[in-house]
Structure 1
Amino acid sequence: MSWVHRRPVSRRRRRGGGSDPAAEQDRARLTEIAVSAERNRIAREMHDIVAHNLSVMIALTDGAALTVERDPARAREAINQAAATGRAALAEMRNTFALLRSGPEDSDPALHPEPGLADLDLLLETARSTGLQVTYQTSGSTESLPIGLQLAVFRLVQEGITNTLKHAPRATRLQISIRRGQEDLRLVVDDNGGAGAPPAGLGQGLIGMRERAALHDGRLFAGPTSSGWRVSVWLPLHERAARA
């Protein structure tokens, strides 16, 4: 009697070529991860744009209310600045939605430019219009940094300013420094809003900042100093971070 060796029939073949439940579960899990990542990306962008510009507008209108009787011209200037900030925020939101809705093949950076380090001057001028004394220092060349990394640094600075305006009303000074080394970039946002416990409501802002840093394999540290609050970010400059 001869013996015939038979190969084991796979589960897929036994089921007449039907889909593999394990593979379907993997695809569903990957889809869920992708949707969650995209939702978080949209949430970060909207939070940073809306929270920052609303904080600036509130600070400007509060200042106008305090000076409207003794210095009407200054109050009028603050109100005009608040209106300009609102219009700029609306334009930025439209651009951001256009970028989020478009795919890589049909997005046009010239039509919907994402902010980068070259746009920090305008951001800092907006912060100065609220009465903050803002200083900005850079070390090393930042012109050749990838666009994605520049956007991350811009948003991190923006959120640092927002935190000071929202949670440190006594702050009069804000120091921002960016240092680029050969292998990393370091960002520090430091205010003098008073030492003490972490301000209430910082949770979502810090979560978004940590997520941005993590997307580029970086780390974020935040905490009180002897005179206020400091946010420090370390970002590596390597191939994976450049592709992020």
Structure 2
Amino acid sequence: MRLVGNIGLAVALAAVVAGTAVAIAASWGGAYFLPGAAAGILTGAAALLRHRGGRLRAAVAGLAVAAAAVVAAHVAGLPAEPGPATALALAVLVGSVTRVAPVRTVAAVAAAGLAVVAVGAFTHPGWSGAFAVTVFGALAWAGGVLTGGALRLLDARRLAAVAAVRRDERLTIARELHDVVAHHVTGIVVQAQAAQLVARKDPAKAGESFAGIEAAGAEALAAVRRVVGLLRDEESADPGAWGVAAGPERIADLVSRFERVGPAVHLQLPPHEDQWPAEVTGAVHRVVQESLTNVARHATHASNVTVALSEVDRTVTFRVADDGAGGPPGVHSGYGIVGMRERVEALGGTLSAGPRPGGGWQVDGTLPLPGPGPVAG
């Protein structure tokens, strides 16, 4: 793309130099066109080489050539400078610096370019064609500054968009790893604690507990491998569906695994759960998973847990509640609730978490289903 642009610029500069030379030869005669043509070629070369030697260096070189041409034209009685070719090259140089340089540098280069054009106007008062040359130079200067400024804004917006995407990717990865690691490691810790009690009371049954720990560790490994595989798979561009396959048995499997280390769960599932989009299924799964992980970690005295999902008027409603003694200590300082809320709000939903009036902890939320569809109760 840069090569094509430079070829186009070279062709345009050559055409302007040739056209200006013909016009001066026809009106002034002789070789009066040579100094202006030389200035145009030199500033044009600086513009074409601006990416190799540095934009600022190229701009300074071009401005120096243009200023020297203005002085020479005034002293030797030559046609007005900066000529059209020089003005065009200066516009490219000033615009190039305006796009990338610090604000102070941009202001200095732009002011120098405007000064060259202005001084050129005052060195040829009343000369035929001097006014047209000055107007062309001023318009070229303004076009270079405006074009460079516009490209600068576009670059800034593009960088901001890339930064936002990277930030969202980091948050998604952090949420996913937190959900997977915290959930499975919590199960391993709880089963290890239970195994210690069983080993003291009935060593013969300790083997069953260790088998459960082994199974939980294998599940944790599989989950981590699945997350890593999805992160490496460029085709898995939908973060909302990461780690979750659609289907009603997913929540049921999650609850069944939790019941091996925690209290009984009263599960309520809607009849159309398998028809939800992958991003909704993924978000609900992660909310339920994190909520059950918090129950296992903090609500140690809970005897009953409710997981209730429903769909009414294209809106999914979910609730995870336990009857433990109060809510998870320090829950607001961790990443679990924050991650759940980010997942849900990213899909246009709401989530709240807090202590229940009768004791225990409760997580409530809603998620809208995209597009029209049948109403399910």
- Does TM-score exceed 0.5, indicating one fold? yes
| Aligned position for 2:223 | 92
CA contact (8 A) 1:189 1:231 kept: yes
What is the alpha-carbon distance in structure 2 between the residues aligned to residue 166 and residue 11 of structure 1? 66
SS at match of 1:91: helix
Count of residues paired in the alignment? 235
Which amino acid in 1 is paired with 2:337?
A: L
| Aligned position for 1:239 | 371
| Aligned position for 1:35 | 166
CA contact (8 A) 1:51 1:162 kept: yes
Q: How does the TM-score come out when normalised to structure 1?
A: 0.85
The Cα shift of 1:212 comes to 0.8
Deviation string 1:17-51 (CA, Å, 9 cap, x unpaired) is: 79822211111111110100000000000000000
| Aligned position for 2:184 | 53
The Cα shift of 1:119 comes to 1.5
Q: Which sits farther off after the overlay, 172-181 or 17-26?
A: 17-26
Richer in strand (by share):
1
Q: How does the TM-score come out when normalised to structure 2?
A: 0.56
Deviation string 1:100-127 (CA, Å, 9 cap, x unpaired) is: 12112799xxxx9734442222211111
SS at match of 1:152: helix
The Cα shift of 1:89 comes to 1.2
RMSD over aligned Cα atoms: 3.0
What is the alpha-carbon distance in structure 1 between the residues aligned to residue 169 and residue 342 of structure 2? 13
Richer in helix (by share):
2
SS at match of 1:24: helix
The Cα shift of 1:198 comes to 5.2
Change (3 A) 1:33 1:16: closer
The Cα shift of 1:140 comes to 3.8
More contact order relative to length (CA 8 Å, sep ≥ 6): 1
CA contact (8 A) 1:223 1:229 kept: yes
Give the share of equivalent positions with the same residue, in percent.
Answer: 30
The Cα shift of 1:201 comes to 3.9
The Cα shift of 1:10 comes to 8.0
Q: Which structure is larger by alpha-carbon Rg, 1 or 2?
A: 2
| Aligned position for 1:206 | 337
Instruction: Give the alignment partner of residue 296 of structure 2, picking from 150, 160, 165.
Output: 165
Structure 2 residues without counterparts, runs of 5 or longer: 1-130, 373-377
The Cα shift of 1:76 comes to 2.3
What is the alpha-carbon distance in structure 1 between the residues aligned to residue 224 and residue 305 of structure 2? 26
Q: Which sits farther off after the overlay, 8-17 or 115-124?
A: 8-17
What is the alpha-carbon distance in structure 2 between the residues aligned to residue 12 and residue 126 of structure 1? 67
SS at match of 1:193: coil
Deviation string 1:218-243 (CA, Å, 9 cap, x unpaired) is: 00010101120000111111239xxx
What is the alpha-carbon distance in structure 2 between the residues aligned to residue 105 and residue 124 of structure 1? 26
Q: Which runs of 4+ in 1 moved over 4 A?
A: 3-12, 14-19
| Aligned position for 2:306 | 175
The answer on 1:135 being equivalent to 2:266 is: yes
SS at match of 1:199: coil
What is the alpha-carbon distance in structure 2 between the residues aligned to residue 19 and residue 31 of structure 1? 18
Q: Which sits farther off after the overlay, 55-64 or 11-20?
A: 11-20
CA contact (8 A) 1:63 1:75 kept: no
Which amino acid in 1 is paired with 2:177?
A: M
| Aligned position for 2:121 | none
Change (3 A) 1:131 1:166: closer
Change (3 A) 1:198 1:83: closer
SS at match of 2:306: strand
CA contact (8 A) 2:321 2:363 kept: yes
Change (3 A) 1:78 1:167: same
The Cα shift of 1:66 comes to 1.2
The answer on 1:218 being equivalent to 2:349 is: yes
SS at match of 2:352: strand
Instruction: Give the alignment partner of residue 362 of structure 2, picking from 218, 226, 230.
Output: 230
| Aligned position for 2:211 | 80
SS at match of 2:274: coil
